[in-house]
Amino acid sequence: MAEHRRRVDKVLDPAFLVGLTDWPLDELRRCHAECLEIETEVSYVRRVAQARLDILEAELERRAAGGSVGDLIAALPEILSDEGPRPPAERSRLPRQLAPSMDIPWRRGLERLIDDGTLADLPSLPDDDLRATITQLRELERQESAQRRALHAVIDRLEADLAERHKIGKA
């Protein structure tokens, strides 16, 4: 029986890029497009995990301060805003898509955390469950960030080969 592997695992396998310079141009472009699509999925999961993590941490703070659920809701725009400066344009990657296809089932490992009912149940969630979910979301965000960096290395290699082919007139 064949082992089922996720697309991200296939493209991050070191064997994926073997013989890259010999690939037909159509295959190179197809793999590049697929990698960009996978990167969109990974980035989306990472962004949703970060947002949920921010909300759950704010809920812990609200409980410690004795605030109301209404206080948490009123603070959502601030909680979800990006505080840090953006990286310089030459170091940023502008996504071609902001969200992945909605047909993707999120049933792989910790990714279930971005599609569960935690936020709807937030006011009744026990503190221990809230802390455990925060720990899991931190791990999910760490995993997705590492995968995203690895995907960028693959995408960079594909784009370098595409650029070289353009440069020598073979694209």
What pLDDT is attached to residue 91? 60
Place of tokens 């590492």: 146
Q: If we measure between CA atoms, which residue out of 90, 59, 60, 99 comes closest to residue 76? A: 59
**What is the C-alpha separation between 81 and 115, in angstroms, rounded?**
21
What does the pLDDT look like over 118-157, one tens digit per residue? 888 888 999 999 999 999 999 999 999 999 999 999 999 9
3-state secondary structure of 167: helix
CA dist 164 and 10 (Å) reads 24
Residue pLDDT, tens place only, 11-25: 999 999 999 999 999
pLDDT tens-digit profile of 49-59? 999 999 999 99
* CB neighbour burial string for 33-65, b if at least 16 within 10 angstroms, e if fewer: eebbebbbbbbbbbebbbbbbbbbbbbeebeee
Instruction: Write the pLDDT tens digit of every residue in 23-32.
Output: 999 999 999 9
Residue 44 confidence (pLDDT): 87
- A 10 A CB-CB count for 165 gives 15
User: Phi and psi at residue 159, in whole multiples of 5°?
Assistant: -65, -35
Where are the domains positioned within the chain?
25-80+107-167
Quote the DSSP letter at residue 118.
T
Joined tokens for residue 49: 């995990």
Nearest CA to 109 out of 47, 49, 37 is that of 49
